[in-house]
Structure 1
Amino acid sequence: MSPKKSIALVTGASSGIGKATAERLATAGYKVYGTSRRGAQLNERSFEMLPLDVTSDASVAAAVSELLRREGRIDLLVNNAGFGIAPAGAEESSVEQAHAIFETNLFGIVRMTRAVVPHMRKQGSGRIINIGSVLGFLPMPFGALYSATKHAVEGYSESLDHELRTRGIRVCVIEPAYTKTAFDANFVEPDAKLDEYREIRAALNKLVQVLMPKADDPGVVAEVVLRAAKAARPKLRYTAGVTAGRLRLLHKFAPAGLLDAGIRKDFQLDVPTASAVRKPAAAR
């Protein structure tokens, strides 16, 4: 896909990976439209912004219609919009909160895809790039719902790529590890907190604070998105950053038992917490 005269749409482009991706695509020659719930903003950007809420059918239809009215085509869709829940036990999120994270992280991609693919089919060409995560192929203790959405993105993307390949459309997934964005600062708190998980929540929040300063810049992910967008023969999956590449290799080649033990060690899952070792009242 040649960047010249190609029209790109990037969701969640007001900050972080989405903003970096939109800017990098614009620099490479794409005509880029970014989206956010707030739409156009006063900040100077190298791309235009459209209002879009990926959880709303009407909002998705309106944004895609407006882009097509202006440009008459769409060549590249980058699905980036998403959010995470602060580290917590899976049972600390209600079913409603589980619905909410899937509504954005997975069904937002489904809505955008359904809105854009008919136009790409008529063109006989197009590319869809979904921002996934290493958590799409690795488990995330105390991040089960977010990890589940990213596993779902992997399965949806791979199946979709097989469906659309003969139509001239390719689908790719980008798999970053930790990235320096405001993502963690915007975590949604679990809505059904339990005292049993208070200590591990505090410990994991401290771990995130230690890891984030060492994380990759969003530009690292943006460069991989550009490479996937321009590739004549794109791969289904692209890791972004050194850490993500190493984790992919470990997942592919390390024995399952060794990988399992490493995850439990990193998260200190077999270290008793103070509350876990506290004797019940009947035993005192």
Structure 2
Amino acid sequence: MSKRNLGVALVTGASSGIGEATAERLAKVGYKVYGTSRRGAQAGQRSYEMLALDVTSDESVEAAVAELIRREGRIDLLVNNAGFSVGPAGAEEVSIKQAQLIFDTNFYGIVRMTRAVVPHMRRRGSGRIINIGSVLGFLPAPYMALYAATKHAVEGYSESIDHELRTRGIRVSIIQPAYTRTGFESNLLEPDLMLDEYRDVRMALAKRVAEAVEAGDDPSVVANTVLKAAMATHPKIRYTAGSLASRLRFLRRFAPAFLVDAGVRKDLGIDA
């Protein structure tokens, strides 16, 4: 794809992993890309600029978007990627404080970014918002309850606002990756309320998740899917990223529920 001026893109959580790969991919094809992280600019060669932005802070979001508008006068594409998880852990091991924190980043962070960017897109009569979801947004996994809940919230919010905003020339899409080699598993928070009853399964699942991530898709697979959604003349509301994600969505839609449930538990090594 030849490089041309495709507009201004803002990618949250762009210091590593999916966010970094996405920002680099968008810049390569012709977007003027601004990435964000809590720390802002960091050492290293990048094809895009970095802004300091904390998606859990109203003031930080408003300041970063205002700075970008001051520099460029427009935002054509917003990619909401920032997020984290707790676990694997039993749901009762995750404190209310941690539950609130994960929702504040993974869900309310998207709400904050969307609210800050949409007025500028609406005034121009065009724009794209792409939210990084997960296969856990349609196929919840045991011992990842809070993360799955945030991704379900992202699904509902994204589809709802796509109905609203398409009448203003703005479209919203969700990208649904499966296991991706991002170091995500090494940044998982430990639960606040660890219980002995869950110790063995917690340790076994942590090992299983680490192995699955190591064998997972490269972040470029997700980045290419983001680009596909961003460039589509008639974008879909949902895009799976990678062959595993596509298979899981197919199974979730067409296979009997008891078979899907059994498959999830077998894959994770959980007793019936």
Q: How far off its partner does 1:194 sit?
A: 0.5
Q: Which amino acid aligns with 2:245?
A: A
Q: How far off its partner does 1:42 sit?
A: 2.2
Report if aligned partners of 1:90, 1:142 keep a CA contact under 8 Å in 2. Answer: yes
Deviates more, 1:203-212 or 1:113-122: 203-212
2:257 corresponds in structure 1 to: 256
CA distance in 2, matches of 1:84, 1:66: 29
Whether 2:65 is the aligned partner of 1:50: answer no
Q: CA RMSD in A?
A: 1.1
2:71 corresponds in structure 1 to: 70
Q: Deviations over 1:64-111 (max 9, x none)?
A: 000000000000000000001120100001111000000000000000
2:227 corresponds in structure 1 to: 226
Whether 2:173 is the aligned partner of 1:177: answer no
Report if aligned partners of 2:95, 2:193 keep a CA contact under 8 Å in 1. Answer: yes
Q: Which amino acid aligns with 2:173?
A: C
Q: How far off its partner does 1:264 sit?
A: 2.5
2:127 corresponds in structure 1 to: 126
Q: How far off its partner does 1:221 sit?
A: 0.2
Q: Which amino acid aligns with 1:212?
A: V
2:187 corresponds in structure 1 to: 186
Q: How far off its partner does 1:269 sit?
A: 3.1
Q: How far off its partner does 1:3 sit?
A: 6.0
Q: How far off its partner does 1:5 sit?
A: 4.3
Matched position secondary structure for 1:257 = helix
Whether 2:58 is the aligned partner of 1:95: answer no
Map 1:1-284 onto structure 2 (within 5 A): 4-270=5-271
Give the TM-score normalised by structure 1. 0.93
Q: How far off its partner does 1:257 sit?
A: 1.8
CA distance in 1, matches of 2:172, 2:130: 6
Q: Which amino acid aligns with 1:132?
A: G
CA distance in 2, matches of 1:182, 1:196: 27
Q: How far off its partner does 1:267 sit?
A: 2.8
Report if aligned partners of 2:208, 2:268 keep a CA contact under 8 Å in 1. Answer: no
Q: Which amino acid aligns with 1:117?
A: V
Matched position secondary structure for 1:178 = coil
Which 5+ residue runs of structure 2 have no aligned equivalent?
Answer: none
Q: Which amino acid aligns with 2:50?
A: M
CA distance in 1, matches of 2:118, 2:91: 34
Report if aligned partners of 1:85, 1:190 keep a CA contact under 8 Å in 2. Answer: yes
Structure 1's consecutive aligned runs of 4 or more residues displaced over 4 angstroms after TM superposition are: none
Deviates more, 1:14-23 or 1:200-209: 200-209
Q: How far off its partner does 1:258 sit?
A: 1.4
Report if aligned partners of 1:87, 1:204 keep a CA contact under 8 Å in 2. Answer: yes
CA distance in 1, matches of 2:135, 2:6: 32
Report if aligned partners of 1:3, 1:230 keep a CA contact under 8 Å in 2. Answer: no
Report if aligned partners of 1:40, 1:49 keep a CA contact under 8 Å in 2. Answer: yes
Matched position secondary structure for 1:7 = strand
Matched position secondary structure for 1:60 = helix
Report if aligned partners of 1:55, 1:107 keep a CA contact under 8 Å in 2. Answer: yes
Q: How far off its partner does 1:247 sit?
A: 0.3
Q: Which amino acid aligns with 1:37?
A: R
Report if aligned partners of 2:134, 2:151 keep a CA contact under 8 Å in 1. Answer: yes
Matched position secondary structure for 2:120 = helix
